Amino acid sequence: MSAKQLLDGPALLQKIRRIAFQIYENNFEEKEIIIAGVIGEGFSLAEFICEHIHDISKMSAQAVAIRLNKEVPYESPVEFDCDLSVFENKVIIVVDDVLNTGRTFSYSLAPFLSIPVKKIQVAVLVDRNYRKFPISADYIGYELSTTLAEHVQVIISDEKMRGVYLR
């Protein structure tokens, strides 16, 4: 099955920049926020959002990697590439490339329930609207209705292949 490109590299970067502006507008009073991205393209998205926030504001935005097994997230703990104290009393934006059932986000958000944070928000590049878990995104780059058999692939980290594809 061949892939259909839904967003090319420039369009994808424009969506990311728009998400960064929305995050800044909704959190402009903060001096520092944490952009926590699910490892893989979600973390690449977090890094890009941080770059844009630095470009458009004086706000400090730190990218943090969330590590979990996306296939069976309940079998191993969710881990971060920093100490949990980094999150205390901060606004946390949890990001991933695609929001489908909400399972990955549900497990990604769980560790924050035991940390005193100001606010937790969710940002996603592509929202497919097939929820099985009660997760909704505060920031959405692109909404897409697909069949369950179709697969959405987001490539952010590879500059030559950058885009959103439907397979």
d(CA 145, CA 67): 28
Which pairing describes strands 60-67 and 79-80: parallel, antiparallel, or unpaired? Answer: antiparallel
Residue-wise pLDDT for 81-99, tens only, equals 988 889 999 999 999 999 9
Total domain count, the chain: 1
Residue-wise pLDDT for 104-161, tens only, equals 999 999 899 899 999 999 999 999 887 888 899 999 999 988 877 888 999 999 989 9
Q: List the CATH number of the domain containing 142.
A: 3.40.50.2020
Range(s) of the domain holding residue 76: 4-166
Residue-wise pLDDT for 37-76, tens only, equals 999 999 999 999 999 999 999 999 999 999 998 888 788 8
Q: Is 130 helix (H, G, I), strand (E, B) or coil?
A: coil
Helix axes 9-27, 41-56, angle to 10 degrees: 60
